[in-house]
Structures are given as C-alpha cells and as structure tokens.
Homo-oligomer: A and B are copies of this chain.
Amino acid sequence: MTIDRNAPIGVFDSGVGGLTVAREIMRNLPNEKIVYFGDTARVPYGSKSRNTVLRYSRQIVRFLKTQNVKAIVIACNTASALALDTIEQELDLPIIGVVKPGASMAVKATRNNRIGVIATQSTIMSNLYPTLIQERHPEITVFGKACPLFVPLVEEGWTRDPVTEEIAGRYLKELMDKDIDTLILGCTHYPLLRHLLQGVVGEHVTLVNPAYETAQALKRLLRELDLENIENSELQLPEHQFYASDAVEKFRDYAAGILPCEVRSTELVAIENY
C-alpha cells in the first residue's frame, strides 16, 4: 500500500483532553493537516476495562481510516496504555501513542532515578509506564498513583483553586514521600493543572507532559517514513477537521479555547456504527 504523504494525520481521544496533544502537533508540524476525533459520547475511558477501551479505539481507527489518514496518534493515555499494542499489530498505517514518548522524556529528565506517574485508574492498573521504563532502565524505580478527581476538577474549571490544591496534596503525598524528582502527567487533562501541581511538588521536581515529546516522535516517524506533508506551507495553513460523537457545539467551544487555529468544521459521528 502506498500512503499519500499529503493526507491528514488522525488524532483521537476519549474527549477534549487530546486537544492538548493536537495543539503540540500543530505547533511542531505546522504543515500537517489534522483530523481529530473526540469520543464525547462515551467519555471518560479512564475507569473502563481494557476490552471496552480496545473496542472503542478500534471503532475510532476504522472511522479515521475512512478519512484517509496517513498516520494515527492516540492522544489519550488510557487508550495508549490499553489498546495501542493490539491495534498496531492490526493496522497497516503508522500509529503512535503518548505513553512511550512520555516514558522516554521522563527517563531523560530524572537525575535520581525515581519517577512518579499520575494518571487514570486504568492507565495506572495497566502498569505500562513502569514496564516501558524498567525494560530499558532497570535502575529506575517508578511509582504510580491514580488521581480520578483531577479530570472532573479540570472540567469544573477549578485549575487554580485551594480545593484542587488540597486534593493534589493528598494524592501526591505518597509520591513525594518516595523522593521522586520527575513526575509524568499521564493524562491529557493534567497539563491544565501544571501550575498548581508544580506548586504542590516544588520546583525541584520536573513535570513531564507527554504531549511535547509525542509531537516530536511523530515528526521523527514521518521523516523516517518519508511521509511529511509537502503540499501545505506557512502561506497556506492546513484546514483541520474535528469530529465528536456527542455535543459538537460544546466540543467546538472548548476546542476553540485551547487551539491556536480556528475551529470551523466540527461534525457529529455515530461512532457505534464503525
């Protein structure tokens, strides 16, 4: 199969969180056109089982293929942790998740070889962050902690609130007691708490946002496979497309607040049919 290098990149998430990853891709690969899908009808994934998250991810991949994407980015930590390994074996397109880039970045950042990961219940239970890190760096110890209240707190808009600070202090205490010097923000909503979390853990702890490194990994992958877009230019920016499985107006408003581009085309997709 020949892949069209000027085709768009498919990016998906359980909802709006993955827009922070899409934003990094837009900044770092400005010529690439993105087709984003947010599964707002079934959000969140973070407390759901591997089977269910895999079934949902397969449906979304099938949908993205109808959009003729040249590569796919799973911009959701839970889906990356639970579904990527299976889907990459089934798929005839390049696909990456956010977990491996996040793990690499944390390995580079740590100086005392003690890394913390905060994420959803399902991502923590998958144990993928520790597994990936320790496979190559057995000298590093990884401590995980599920923080199920962070996503609803971000969605409530309480990103700089004393209540959120109190909850963060409670969640992070056991990681701080382990003397970590690096903390992976293992859920796409958490970078929106970056400022508050930095205050809680102190300046000596490096916060790792996998979105940055995911955009870099995508750039390297496209270059390697000779799949970089050569059609668009800085003079003619690509028209990104957005799809969601529920409440597209709410999705559009949220996206417009996060992304550096105009959010024009937003359509509803009956994802159960894929």
Q: Which residues of A are in contact with B by a Cβ distance under 8 Å?
A: 40-43, 47-49, 51-52, 148-149, 151-153, 155-156, 163, 166-167, 170, 245-247, 272
Contact = CB atoms under 8 A, between A and B. Distances in A.
Nearest to A49: B247
6 contacts: A40-B48, A41-B48, A41-B52, A48-B247, A49-B246, A149-B152
A151 B153 CA distance: 12
A163 B167 contact: yes
A40 B44 CA distance: 11
A43 B49 CA distance: 12
A269 to B, nearest CB: 12
Given A41-B42, A149-B156, A52 B166 contact: no
Contacts of A167: 163
Contacts of A51: 246
Given A42-B42, A52-B246, A156 B166 contact: no
Contact of A152 (B40, B148, B170): B148
Q: Kindly list the 3 A-B residue pairs having the minimum CB-CB distance in the complex, ordered from nearest.
A: A52-B246, A152-B152, A49-B247
Contact of A156 (B48, B148, B245): B148
Contacts of A148: 152, 155-156
Nearest to A150: B152
Contacts of A47: 43, 155
A127 B42 CA distance: 23
A156 B145 CA distance: 13
A36 to B, nearest CB: 19
B149 A153 contact: yes
